[in-house]
Amino acid sequence: MDVTLAELVDALPAGVVVTDPDLLEKYRRDRAADPAAGMPLAAVRAESTEHVQAALRWAARHRVPVVPRGAGTGLSGGATAVDGGIVLSTERMRAIEVSPRTRMAVVQPGLLNTEVKAAAAAHGLWYPPDPSSFEICSIGGNVATNAGGLCCVKYGVTTDYVLGLEVVLSDGTAVRLGGPRLKDVAGLSLTKLFVGSEGTLGIITEVTLRLLPAQPPSSTLVATFASTRQATAAVLAITAALRPAMLEYMDQVSINAVEDMLHMGLDRDAAAMLLARSDSRYLAAELEMRSMAEACQAHGATEVLATDDPAEGEAFVVARRGVIPAVERRGTVLLEDVGVPLPRLPELVAGIEAIAAARAVTIALIAHAGDGNTHPLIVFDPADAAAAARAQLAFGEVMDLAIRLDGTITGEHGVGRLKKAWLADQVGGDALDLSLRIKQALDPLGILNPGAIFP
Ligand SMILES: Cc1cc2nc3c(=O)[nH]c(=O)nc-3n(C[C@H](O)[C@H](O)[C@H](O)COP(=O)(O)OP(=O)(O)OC[C@H]3O[C@@H](n4cnc5c(N)ncnc54)[C@H](O)[C@@H]3O)c2cc1C
């Protein structure tokens, strides 16, 4: 072992620093499986803020790159390891304290989203943000990417629940930002600066989260359409009239991929399916469900099914959550996350269909439709070099299309390494320059997640 690394190993308790190449393999990539992943010197499985500080002080002293890692479910290569760097994993930082009196939780970053929800539920409370990956992703990763999810159309995204943070900066200093206050405008909004910063500005070591009273029982509506145009028109009609607790979209490729995997009896012939929810109470729920059904029927739905049986409703949500794993069974997937202002959703969906046809690639399309946030999944046979090249072209064209429609290259997954080439086109040179100045101020040595977000 090299002398420098031995210094890090000595500074931390036994078992915290992993250097065995076989064990390091699992820390090299996130779910985007970036082929350019490097080989890290070590993974540091920190158990406390002090361990993170020790690792960063060592890294700053020796100018070693540090790639923060939660559960590695990211879809943009944000946690891709770099050659000669370390991976700073928070998987062992798993404490949580729920305060029912203040309706808040103080959580370490390695706890999974589902575990935060369960701990809140034990006190009759609810942590809403629900990425489809909620059973496998960490709360630290959620904060670092500002994760969204299915109920965010009504309840907002991760940042709306982050009241405070403890962050370890690139020189090893730990700072506390925000805190257990619902309103707090003292000083610059530094807490929010770190939400969605994808590990490029600091390492999040503790989060203070806002919780809500438990969600009321919800009713679920499923509608199928013979054309994607009708389905997106129904989305616009529903969102113009009310705020559903969920409004998700699946196209025919997605429906068939899920049906192959789960055999649920979904309509394989439908061009698109919408999944909508109301969690309002009593008469309000009835009115919302009726209004959503009418909007679907008015836009030519071939079938509309409504249920207030939670198990039946959940089965359809499971189908929606299953799309990414189901499509991954069909080949290599390039997963996009483009979003547009809602009125432009029909143009985005039609444009993506046109790109798929022009490039002769298969694109499965799912969307958090009520947020105008789509996930085109470009799937190809990795053994077919020509198909892989066409898929790469389509990947860029989808982001170009979103930018032309006044949209974003990423609504919730982050820029990571795979989308950074398009960032300047979206935000413009001045905004990128300002971001680089902030990065330079907080990480002057450029050791925090180099290669992510920034050129
Ligand atoms: C099947 C599937 C479905 C998904 N559905 C959704 C969805 O609906 N909505 C959604 O938003 N995302 C979704 N995702 C993407 C992913 O789960 C989220 O981006 C999630 O927030 C990543 O969490 P993680 O713990 O896995 O983070 P990682 O992948 O480990 O890291 C993600 C980024 O955060 C940084 N990071 C991680 N922890 C820290 C920390 N403590 N401090 C500083 N930086 C840190 C990393 O460096 C990296 O840049 C899905 C993924 C899968 C596989």
Q: Domain containing 203 — which CATH number?
A: 3.30.465.10
Dump strand ranges (E) for 47-173.
66-69, 86-89, 96-99, 104-107, 125-126, 162-168
Q: Are residues 120 and 257 in the same domain?
A: no
Last residue of a domain, one of 66, 89, 112: 89
CATH of the domain at 381: 3.40.462.40
Cα torsion angle, 241, 133, 318, 116, sign: negative
Q: Are residues 400 and 322 in the same domain?
A: yes
Residue 443 domain flag = no
pLDDT of residue 455: 81
Please give the tally of structural domains in the chain.
3
Rounded to the nearest whole angstrom, what is the distance from the C-alpha of residue 292 to the centroid of ligand 1?
Answer: 32
Locate tokens 């499971």: which residue? 318
Nearest to 365 by CA among 212, 205, 231, 213: 231
- Residue 12 reports pLDDT greater than 90: yes
Pick from 52, 112, 132, 449 the residue to mutate for probing ligand 1's pocket: most ligand atoms within 8 Å of its CB.
Answer: 132
Q: Are residues 226 and 368 in the same domain?
A: yes
Residue type, 341: P
Q: Are residues 140 and 163 in the same domain?
A: yes
Q: Are residues 262 and 196 in the same domain?
A: no
Q: Are residues 374 and 225 in the same domain?
A: yes
Q: Are residues 270 and 171 in the same domain?
A: no
Cβ(39)–Cβ(91) under 8 Å?
no
Q: Are residues 350 and 252 in the same domain?
A: yes
CATH of the domain at 11: 3.30.43.10
Residue 417 domain flag = no
Last residue of a domain, one of 153, 183, 213: 213
Q: Are residues 283 and 394 in the same domain?
A: yes
Q: Are residues 282 and 145 in the same domain?
A: no
| Cβ atoms < 10 Å from Cβ of 428 | 11
pLDDT of residue 51: 98
Between CA 374 and CA 367 the distance in angstroms is 4
Q: Are residues 259 and 310 in the same domain?
A: yes
Q: What is the DSSP letter of 344?
A: G
Angle subtended at Cα 134 by Cα 129 and Cα 140, rounded to the nearest 5 degrees: 75
DSSP letters for 365-398? EEEEGGGTEEEEEEEE-TT-HHHHHHHHHHHHHH
Between CA 119 and CA 21 the distance in angstroms is 35
Dump strand ranges (E) for 252-361.
272-278, 303-307, 332-335
**Structure tokens of 13?**
């308790």
Locate tokens 């919408």: which residue? 274
pLDDT of residue 70: 98
For residue 387, CA distances in Å to 306, 359, 394, 399 come to 40, 9, 10, 19
Residue 77 domain flag = yes
The ligand 1 atom nearest the CA atom of 449: 47
> What is the domain range of residue 51?
3-89
Rounded to the nearest whole angstrom, what is the distance from the C-alpha of residue 440 to the centroid of ligand 1?
Answer: 24
Any bridge partners for residue 246, and if so which?
277
Q: Are residues 177 and 249 in the same domain?
A: no
pLDDT of residue 2: 78
Which amino acids bring their CB within 6 angstroms of ligand 1? 30-31, 67-75, 78-79, 90, 109, 131-133, 137-138, 140-142, 144-145, 147-149, 198-199, 203-204, 324-325, 412-413, 449, 452
Last residue of a domain, one of 404, 432, 449: 404
pLDDT digits (tens, 9 = 90+) for 102-123: 999 999 999 999 999 999 999 9
Residue 267 domain flag = yes
* 79 pLDDT tier (thresholds 50, 70, 90): very high
Residue 433 domain flag = no
Average pLDDT of the residues in 195-211: 98
Rounded to the nearest whole angstrom, what is the distance from the C-alpha of residue 135 to the centroid of ligand 1?
Answer: 12
pLDDT digits (tens, 9 = 90+) for 338-380: 999 999 999 999 999 999 999 999 999 999 999 999 999 999 9
